[in-house]
Structure 1
Amino acid sequence: MNVINNEVLLESRSLRNDVAGRTEVLDKVKALSLLPDGMHVTTAMVAAYFEVTVKTLESVMEDHREELDSHGLQVLTGTRLALFKGACGIQSRSRAIAVFSRRTVLNVAMLLRDSEVARQVRTYLLDVEYMARTQPVDNSVHRGPDSLDDRIDRRISRILGKTIVPMFNALIEASGEHRKELISLRDDVEKVERKLCNHHQRLRHLEHAQGPRPYTGIMASIDAMNWREFEHHVAVLLRRDGCTDVVVHGGPGDRGVDVTAVTAEGRSIVVQCKSFAPYRPVWSGELQKFLGASFVQHGADVALFVATTSFTPDARAIAETYGITLVDRAHLEKWSAGVPLAILR
C-alpha cells in the first residue's frame, strides 16, 4: 500500500518532477505503442493509452502547457512537421501536430484525473519510488542474474514454502475438528506460492532476453531539455572531462559557436550544440557555417559539433575533410553516461 496517496501527484508539481524520469512504469501498467521513430506518440495515441477522449487530453494540455513543454511536449509545424510526417509515415493534412515523448506521457498520467489507467500509473509510480527510497543500498559486488533471487516475489514464495506450508501441515496433523478447513487453506497458500514462482521465472526470462541497458533514460532526459539547458549540459560534460575556461555563449551574438573551452592539454576548443528532434538530421550547410566560425573567426584547435540527432552523409564528409569532431545521438548518450570523448583525452 502506498505511503503517499497517488492523488497527491495531481496537486504537487515538485513531486511530479521528482519522479518524472521513471517512464518504465508506463509499460508496467499497459503497453504504450510508439510511432516508427521509436520515441514519440501523437495526441490520439496518448488518449487511447489512457482511455480518454482527445478533448479531455487537450484540456489537460491547455491547463498545464508550460509543464508539459518542459517534459518534452512539442507542437510541430512547417518543415519540422513535414520531416516528421515523412519519417513516421503519417498521412495527415493537419498544419500542426503535437508529439509526446515517453516522459511527457508519464507527466500526463500525473495530471489526468478521470482515467483509471492514469490512476494505476500513479499508484505504480509511487510504489516504485517508495521502494527505491526505502530499500537499503547494496554495496556488494554485482552478482549477475542470481541477484534476481532477491526480488520480493521470490522472498515471499520462500516464506510460504518454508514456513507457512509446514506450519499448516503441523496444524493439520494436530487438529481433528478443523482439518478440512486447514487443508483447504494450505492448498490455497501452495497455489499462491506456485504462481509467485512462475512469475519469478517469467521475469528472469524477460530480463535475460532484453540484456543490459546501461544508458536507459539518458536521452529521454536530454530530449526534455530546451536549447539553453542542452548547451549547459554540454558545458558540464566538458568540465567533467578536464576542460577549463568553459563558457556558454549560445544565443544572439555568439559568433557561430555555443561553448568555448580549453582542453587539459591547453588546446582551444569551440562547440556548436544542436538540440534537434531525432528525425531531423544535421545538414551539410550547418557544418559549413560552423566550419567558418570555428577555424576562421575563432582560430580554434578543436572544433566539436554536438547534436541530439544524426548527421547526413554530406555533413559527415565535410567534417572528415576539415577535421570537425562530430558527436551524434549515440555518442552523446555514451558521453553523458561517463565515457570521455577521445578528442578530449
Structure 2
Amino acid sequence: MSVINDAVLLESRSLRASVVEQTDALDRVKVLSLLPDGMHVTTAMVAAYFQVGIKAIRSLVLDHRDELEASGYRVLTGTELSSFKELSGIQSRTRTLALFSRRTVLNVAMLLRDSEVARQVRTYLLDREYEARTQPVDNCVHSEPESLDERIDRRITHILGKTVVPMFNALIETSGEQHKELISLRDDVKRIERKLRDHHHRLRRLEQAWGPRPYTGIMASIDAMNWREFEHHVAVLLRRDGCTGIVVHGGPGDRGVDVTALTADGRSVVVQCKSFAPYRPVWSGELQKFLGAAKVQHQADVALFVATTSFTPDARAIAETHGVTVVDRGHLEKWSAGVPLPILQAD
C-alpha cells in the first residue's frame, strides 16, 4: 500500500526526475528485455513490456519528448543507424530506429496511465521512497543494519498492535451510543494491519525473486530475439572470440547447420542454433541430426550446438561421446556476457 498515491508521479516532473535513476524498479516488477547491446530497447519492446499498443508509446513520446530525451530517448538515422546495426547485430531495413535506455523506460512507467505494469512500477518506487523517509534516524552503531522486515514489524506492532487497537478496546468498553461505530473503526485498523503485512510479504518475495545476478537482463534480451536474430547473435559471439570467415546459413537449404566459421588457429567450426523456450529441452534426436551434418557432411573440427534452453541427459551423452560441444542456457548467458568459449581458444 503506497502512502502517496501513484498519481503524484504522473503529475510531477520534478518527482519523476528525482527517481529516474532507480531503474532496478523495472526488473523488480517484470524482466525488461534488452537489445543485443544490453543497453537499449525499441518502441515495440517498450510496448510489450508495459502490455500496451505501440501507438500508446508513440503518443506518449509525442507528448513528452523533451523529458524522455533528457532521460536517454533518441532516434537513430543515417550512418549512426548503420553503425548501430552493425555493432549490435540487428537485422532491420528501417531508415530510423527509436531507442529507449533503461532510464527512459522507467520515465515511461511514470507517465503511462493505462498500464497495470506501469502502475506496479510506480507503486514500487513510492513504497521504497516511503520506507526511506519513515526509517528512524539512529546514530547508534549496530553490528548489522536493521532489515526491512524488522522495521515494518516494529511499526505495525508498536503503532497498531500496542497503541491503536488497545485504545479502541478501552473506548468500546466504556462507550454508549458509539459502540458499533468504534467496533467498526477497530476492525478497519485491523484490516490495515493485515494489508501492511501482506504488502511486506510481497516486497520480500520480490526481493528474493530478483536478487543480485551477475548477468541480469542478458537472457531476457536473447529470449526476445527471433530465430534469425539469435543466429546473428551467435555469429557476433564467434567473431568476438577470434573466429573469421563467419557465414550465417540459417533457413531452408542450410544443410543442417546455421553458422560456419574458422577459429583463430584455423579449425573449422559448424554451429546449430536453437532458440527454444526455457522449458523445452533439446532432445537426443535433434543432437543426432546435427551430429550427422557436422561430422559427416561438413567434417567439422569443432561442432557447437547452442541453445537457449537445457539438453536432456541422452542428448548430453551423445554429445560427449561424439565430441559435440553443447552450449546450454547457463553457458550461453556467460558467453554472451563476455566469458570466452574454451573450445574456440587456440591450444
Q: TM-score of the superposition, structure 1-length normalised? A: 0.48
Higher relative contact order (CA 8 A, sep 6+): 2
Q: TM-score of the superposition, structure 2-length normalised? A: 0.48
